[in-house]
Structure 1
Amino acid sequence: MNLVKFPVSFKCRISWLDLVRMVNCLLCVKEPSLLFSAPVRFVGCLGSSYLCDTIGRRFTISFSAFFYIIGVIIEITSSTHWVQFAMGRFTAGLGIGALSTSVPMYQSESVPKNIRGAVVSSYQLLITLGIWTAYMINYGTHDAYSNSAQWRIPNGLSALWAIILGTAVLFMPESPRFAYRVGREDEARKNMALLNGVDPYSHLIDAEINEIEVKLAAEREGGDHPWYEIFTGPRMLYRTLLGMVLQAGQQLTGANFFFYYGTTIFKSGGISDSYVTSIILGSVNVVATIGGLWVVKNCGRRKALMVGAAEMFVCMLIYSFVGHFKIQGQVNAQAPGAVLICFTCIYIVGFATTWGPLVWAIVGELYPARYRASCMALATASNWLFNFLISFFTTFITNDIDYYYGLVFAGSLFALFWIVFFFVIETKDRSLEEIDTMYVLHVNPLTSATWSPKSLGAEGVNGVDTDKMFLTKGGKDIKKSEMAGRPMLEHDERMFPETAAGGSAAPENKPEIVNALSFNPYHYARWDEEEDESRMMDYMNICHVNTTTPHHTTPPKRKSQKKSRKQNRKHKNERQTKG
């Protein structure tokens, strides 16, 4: 670690390799010693969810950036009082924690789905660029100054990027999904058109707005949604825990171990200058993360995470065994040291192209709108928690098991490979609302890449109101609101305006049409095709929908849901005979 000493009047040893955090700029400073900063950022993450849902994503980013600036000012004006510096770190840490939640959320909700993964992953790219910039500034100030300017200049410069971010984001459009949720429909349509580069009333924007409207209407009909529904909502415990595991897993891959303690590895290979070590690792990290944007855009989430975990697993095994048997206790071990340096760089390439950027993208896509802020805050907080735990315990562990510490991370990578394999669905090129539907319908992660929402429409159903569903008291059952299906049919009305203008079916009869299906979307993925085909045919007979003259007749009375298979097949045969 590179530790810079304060003047004698300030009895405190701290380091100034601060991680620059930003969206499309640099932002903060991340130090090798996170014993104070990481827990504060953990708190900042948790508090950001309320701000994001209250004042919006854009204003939360701006507020958090300027909160960070206040913290930096407190730090660099401290001289003899370590308490003042600590309060500055506390204030800045709250801002960084909030930004680490609000920035990926804002990105994931705003950009078109075909580039969403790459744009959200650019968050990690600019983090790595910030790390590299901090390394270079530290290297320059270390040789140029011998007083407090060594740490005041790097720390003060980090506020410059926060000023740029906090100001520039105010000139950017608000998240269309947030704007629509708070009743600003025209602003949402305008912002979405601006971000997609199309006319506000184009078919693309109409489809996106309709999708958001259907989800929001269904959510409102479902009643109040208290905070604890992030654990009790439909498939929410699954997704909440998955997001936390992925964010914690980003730390448990062991990447920060190399960034924090890479000096020891490079010394064994003959490179003793810790600043040079940092610059080498930072440069590899930046270049590889640029390649990671191509990976997330073209290779998909699941494959990239699994390949990355496998590659890092092999590198960790080599690091552990070569280090333990060839370097530990040896006086001259430059050849094995060169091997460690080589595989450390290969490891960083694997991390920077997969787990580094992709976790931010996946977590930003994982949750429905009404839970997104709270769940992303909790997931990101778990990232900071494990960041702290690794930085705190590494020294104690390596003193006991030396290079075998790499086996701890290898075991984590082995587990993460199978967690992704069995639990993470492929979300490449899908809308946020479509991803929500896939999780609620228990789409198999192994075949999720080929799943298509067209399969729902092919069965006579225009959409699935996943927001209608919530766990009953005790969390053992699923129920829907009484008006389930209304948003689905209102979507039909937009598709067939002539029906709404003068069709034979009155709007108030539309929910009854869906009720005739006896349709429970929660069990949709487990339908028995033969058993339910008769109900689907009833639906088609009721609607008489065709491509030229959409027409709805008054629906018959709802049939009993307890018919046996034999009765269903009998009715089916009768219809075929009449036809």
Structure 2
Amino acid sequence: MTPETLAKVRIYWLAMVACIGGFLFGYDSGIVGGVLTFKSFQTDFRYTDSQVTQVNSLTVGIQQLGCLVGCFAIWPVANRHGRKPAIILSSIVFCIGVVIEVINTHSRPAFYVGRVICGLGVGASSVIIPIYMAEMSPKEIRGRLGSSYQFLFTWGIFTSYWVDYGVKFMPDQTMQWQIPIGLQMVPGGLMGLGMLTLKESTRWLIFHGDHEAAWESLTWIRAGDSDAIRAEFDEMIDGVESDRRIQESFHPKELLEKNNFKRVLIAFGVFLAQQSTGSTALAYFGPQFFALLVGKGDQNLLLTAIFGAIKVAACGIFVIFIAERFGRRTLFISGAAVMACCMITTSAVVKLRPPPGNGTVTSAGIATVFLIYLDIIFYNWSWGGLPWAYVSEIFPPRIREPGVGIAVGTQWAFNLMYSFTTPYMMDGMGWGTFLLFGAFDLVIVIFVVFCIKETQGRMLEEINASFEGHGGGQVKDMSGGGTENYGETTVSSLKERTKR
């Protein structure tokens, strides 16, 4: 095997191991909605029909609370001990949670504890894995490998829906819900075991002054020692030192400065908008949503499974054909506008032609299912993965880490809010739930028109200059000695960072 081939094998192996975390995230997010419809689960955990809404809310929402805590709690581990130990720890914590979940204790509080612990592992891995992949990937394929995490997330959801659909035909016994819950252990365990075969992040090792181990890590993942690899290593050292100088003496109060605070508010708004489209709620409570459209019945798990397949296809099309061909604003606006039409029309049809309740699927029900499928396609073409890229682009290096951290926290916080409230919305509002999400989508369009700056195809320094009010990238002589400034960044510095 040639060094070039071996390098490809190793980097794609690294991506596969890391993206198991994305699959785990998706499977864990999607599996519980179907499990909550099983009579066997209700029987084993001993709650009545009048408690269904409360159990649905707590079972999904309490895990999102764990995710919110986990995404912040892992930072000290990852920064002090390394990316690799942090991901392995996330795997161990998640597997402990699965064990607690899958034991038939007949105790809902015990099951909830397992959900929280699983959430800690999922939240932690969702933050560290993308960072680890970005720090280890060659610049030529960094974007493609980064997109793979989101793609595997949709595959995880897809798999969870079909597992739920498959075990639906089992007898109403404990194994019916234990199998889909227990299968979480497979990606959870593989993620941790796979990390044992990989090296620590080269850039993390450089940051902590261990250049010998960093060189070993880089030559292993690049499968060789060449002039090009030595040049890349030197660039990494320069880049880490440059970032260290940029971030030196940072104080959190800097986030409250006018231009920085503007970015924080936009990042906050972007992830609030993402969660307010209703698509995350659909992913968690798919069978329950389809019951509003076509009535209760076994067909809802099948409709949810097809929903998962459409998510996978839509995400794949986005990654391959759409992501870099259209502007961020164009995708955000068109996505929210189409989703608004889908949700508002769905609410009107369900209001005027509600499902008969006898298991018969009417033409009105089929039409609304089609609208929800169209909604999720446009979500994956816009608000699904694009907010993550957009938020990472708008922060300058000095505040990028805390800025993105706040954005991720916002995502989990509103994920938590909608996880708790959606079952009560469906129970109390019925068709009005779709109308509410449609109204949110219209507000999102207005938010993008007035608040979102275009970043597609622009250098990070140019984006920074547009926020700082420097004309979006005019270059002029500011020193009299031949030094040119680009906003607040020198052109020589700009070229150096671009090279990296």
Give the TM-score normalised by structure 1.
0.66
**CA offsets 1:346-381 (integer angstroms, 9 cap, x no match):** 111111222112222333444455644443333223
Paired residue secondary structure (2:173): coil
Aligned-CA RMSD value: 4.2
2:294 counterpart of 1:272: no
Counterpart Cα distance in 2 of 1:352 and 1:32 = 27
Identify which of 262, 270, 273 aligns with 1:246.
Answer: 270
What residue is the counterpart of 1:325 in the other structure?
352
Paired residue secondary structure (2:390): helix
What residue is the counterpart of 1:34 in the other structure?
60
Give the TM-score normalised by structure 2.
0.75
Counterpart Cα distance in 1 of 2:42 and 2:274 = 37
Deviation of 1:407 (Å): 3.2
What residue is the counterpart of 1:313 in the other structure?
340
**CA offsets 1:246-283 (integer angstroms, 9 cap, x no match):** 22222111113333155454664578322212111111
What residue is the counterpart of 2:307 in the other structure?
281
Paired residue secondary structure (2:384): helix
Matches within 5 A, 1:22-421: 33-112=59-138, 115-185=141-211, 199-201=227-229, 209-220=237-248, 224-229=249-254, 231-232=255-256, 235-259=259-283, 260-265=285-290, 268-269=293-294, 272-273=297-298, 274-294=300-320, 295-327=322-354, 334-368=362-396, 371-399=399-427, 401-421=429-449
Paired residue secondary structure (1:442): helix
Alpha carbons 2:57, 2:419 under 8 Å: kept: no
Alpha carbons 1:263, 1:277 under 8 Å: kept: no
**CA offsets 1:91-127 (integer angstroms, 9 cap, x no match):** 2111111122222333344445564444333322212
Deviation of 1:422 (Å): 4.5
Cα distance change, pair 153–329 in 1 and its aligned pair in 2 (3 A): closer
Question: Which one has more relative contact order, counting CA pairs under 8 Å at least 6 apart?
Answer: 2
Counterpart Cα distance in 2 of 1:169 and 1:233 = 40
Counterpart Cα distance in 1 of 2:330 and 2:480 = 29
Deviation of 1:160 (Å): 1.3
Greater C-alpha Rg: 1
Residue type of the alignment partner of 1:314: C
Q: Please say which of residues 156-165 and 290-299 is displaced more in the overlay.
A: 290-299
Cα distance change, pair 101–371 in 1 and its aligned pair in 2 (3 A): farther
Which segments of 5 or more consecutive residues in structure 1 lack a partner in the other structure?
15-29, 468-484, 493-579
Counterpart Cα distance in 2 of 1:455 and 1:302 = 32
Counterpart Cα distance in 2 of 1:409 and 1:335 = 23
Counterpart Cα distance in 2 of 1:196 and 1:302 = 37
Residue type of the alignment partner of 1:302: R
Deviation of 1:315 (Å): 1.5
Deviation of 1:287 (Å): 1.1
Counterpart Cα distance in 1 of 2:212 and 2:487 = 24
Counterpart Cα distance in 2 of 1:238 and 1:165 = 37
What residue is the counterpart of 2:483 in the other structure?
461
Counterpart Cα distance in 2 of 1:403 and 1:375 = 37
Which segments of 5 or more consecutive residues in structure 2 lack a partner in the other structure?
1-32, 50-55
More helix by share: 2
Counterpart Cα distance in 2 of 1:135 and 1:387 = 20
Counterpart Cα distance in 2 of 1:13 and 1:240 = 44
Residue type of the alignment partner of 1:327: P
Q: How many residues align?
A: 449
Q: Please say which of residues 151-160 and 52-61 is displaced more in the overlay.
A: 52-61
Deviation of 1:235 (Å): 3.7
Alpha carbons 2:263, 2:394 under 8 Å: kept: yes
